[in-house]
Amino acid sequence: TPRVPVMPPSRHPCVAMRVPMGLLSLLLALSLLSPRGSAGASCPPRCVCASNLLSCSQANLSAVPAPLPRFTAVLDLSHNNVTRLRADWAPARLPHLHALLLSHNGLTFVSTEAFAHVPRLRHLDLSSNRLRTLDENLFSDLGELEVLLLYNNEITTVDRTAFENLGRLRKLYLGQNRIARFPLELLREGTRLPQLALLDLSANRLRAVPAGELQALPAWLRDRLYLHNNPLACDCLLFQLLDRGHRRHLSAVVDFQDELRCVLPGAPASIKILALAGQQPLNCSKAREDVLEAHLGDSVTLGCDSRWQGVRGRHWVTPGGERVLGDGGNGSVVLLANGSLQLRALRPEDAGTYACWVAGPLLNETLYVELLVHNFTLHGPHDTLNTAYTTLVGCILSVVLVLIYLYLTPCRCCCCRGTEKPPAPRDDSINSSVLSTTPNHAGGTGEPCGSHIASSAGTGQNGRFKGGGTPPLPARQGPKAQRKVSDPDSVSSVFSDTPIV
């Protein structure tokens, strides 16, 4: 029987293939589980990498580690010694980074180009550092930033362009700094920071705030405008602003009403702002909220100043009980796109209390606006000025007419001084006129006064024949006979010193 050769075990094809495959599987598993494998090979020293999270907190770092993994989405560098954030801290673009934590580092300098390579950043924490100024266009490269934490620094100056191009910023924390003036005009009309819903300015050095402009802000922003723990000067406008917020249950006022204090001139200690009502020396009075005055024929707009920003729906109820929905009302009552109610051509029956019902994301809210319609159309300082001007002009004209009547009334005497003219007969009084006209001196021949009277003896006024006239007087001789009617003596006879009344 032929002998079958037996292959040694080490050379058996199945055994020979079994060992390398097992080792390969083990190495593959270890490479996937190891933080230093293919995915974590670029994880910096003294840092922990977990998926797309890179944590270097409390690693005693004096600079940002390099190189950083390109896939990093969250970078935690808090509680280190990174005092300066230069423009080259991220030499390569980090397109996935959306959160950067740099709190408790003692930062004193941040370059204006420090965020050029992280355009997708949405959360930036620079709190608890030693920053003193916010330079112009410091955060202008962060167009998608939503939350910015700058509290507990040493900030004294805030440039109005520091928050330029932050169109998506929702929360800005600037509490516990040394800010004496914050550019609140950034909030006006919502042009610079249109989506800002929270602004923390507490524990700073603010001495005055524009209460009138803050009252014009929407209620959903005033609900998260924190001004407590500031050395504010006591003012009635400030009291009315916070008093309205307290009645509207705004959280920035209700939650910190004990910390909202102000300083009176000469007072040793601060007092609560909400306690200013009726106190000397200001003696502030509570303003009526949501009271609008108008006049007949005017057009007014009633605002629905809700505390909720994400409103699901709203409608108005008129004083007569009529509901005004989103499709608008009749021709005189229209619901606008922003939720306001517009009333056109006001009538007396339009006066009353209007209710705005708002369906918020958490709770519903009902706002009331009282409309007062005055029963006259003249209003405003311009009309008052016109009335006073008309009265003054009327008085001046009256005085002028009285003076004309007193001093410019013609007399009955003859046009020539020294000429004695007998009174006309009684039957001629009907044809004569009291206000006789001054005769014309035609030709300018210089006729004597007597000859002129003689030539007109047979006619009356306007050339009419005079039935019973005065007989002609003989011409007087002498130097006085050569005087004209228009000489000074004749003028003085017309404008006599004794007026005839």
Token pair for residue 399? Answer: 């005085």
How is the chain split among helix, strand and coil, in percent rounded to 5? 25, 15, 60
CA 175, CA 206: separation in Å to the nearest integer?
Answer: 11
Query: For tokens 């017309």, what's the residue?
Result: 494
The confidence score (pLDDT) of residue 362 equals 72
Tell me if 242 is assigned to some domain. no
Number of domain units in the chain: 1
Check which CATH number belongs to the domain holding 312 and give it.
2.60.40.10
Task: Look up the pTM and report it.
Answer: 0.62
The confidence score (pLDDT) of residue 290 equals 75
The confidence score (pLDDT) of residue 469 equals 46
Tell me if 357 is assigned to some domain. yes
The confidence score (pLDDT) of residue 473 equals 46
CA 312, CA 421: separation in Å to the nearest integer?
Answer: 102
Q: What is the DSSP string of 201-239?
A: --SS------HHHHHTS-HHHHTTEE--SS-EEP-HHHH
User: Is the distance from CB of 126 to CB of 150 less than 8 angstroms?
Assistant: yes
Q: CA separation (Å) from 448 to 286, 439, 441, 443?
A: 89, 13, 11, 13
Per-residue pLDDT of the chain (501 residues; tens, 9 = 90+): 444 444 444 443 333 333 344 443 433 333 333 333 334 447 888 899 988 999 999 999 999 998 888 889 999 999 999 999 999 898 888 999 999 999 999 999 999 999 999 999 999 999 999 999 999 899 999 999 999 999 999 999 998 888 989 999 999 999 999 999 988 877 875 667 888 999 999 999 999 998 888 888 888 888 999 999 999 999 888 998 999 889 888 999 999 999 999 998 888 889 999 988 877 788 888 766 677 888 888 888 888 888 777 777 888 888 888 888 765 555 678 888 878 888 888 888 888 888 888 887 777 777 778 888 887 664 444 444 556 667 888 889 898 888 888 887 665 555 545 445 555 444 444 444 443 444 444 444 444 444 343 344 444 444 444 444 444 444 444 444 444 444 444 444 434 444 443
Whether the upstream peptide bond of residue 95 has omega within 30° of 0, thus cis, is no
Q: What is the dihedral of CA 186, 192, 195, 198, to 10 degrees?
A: -20
What is the maximum alpha-carbon separation in the chain? 200
Q: What does the pLDDT look like over 80-120, one tens digit per residue? A: 999 999 998 988 889 999 999 999 999 999 999 999 999 99
User: Is the distance from CB of 110 to CB of 86 less than 8 angstroms?
Assistant: no
Q: Which residues contact 256 (CB under 8 A, 6 or more apart)?
A: 202, 226, 228
Give, for 324, the enclosing helix (H) or strand (E). strand 323-324
Tell me if 223 is assigned to some domain. no
Tell me if 227 is assigned to some domain. no
Q: Which residues of 248-264 are buried (b: 16+ CB within 10 A; e: fewer)?
A: bebebbeeebeebbbbb
Q: Where are the alpha helices (DSSP H) in 295-431?
A: 381-407
Q: Which residues contact 22 (CB under 8 A, 6 or more apart)?
A: none
Tell me if 326 is assigned to some domain. yes
Tell me if 397 is assigned to some domain. no
Q: What does the pLDDT look like over 292-345, one tens digit per residue? A: 888 888 888 888 888 777 777 888 888 888 888 765 555 678 888 878 888 888
Tell me if 300 is assigned to some domain. yes
Tell me if 341 is assigned to some domain. yes
Which residue range(s) make up the domain with 309? Answer: 292-374
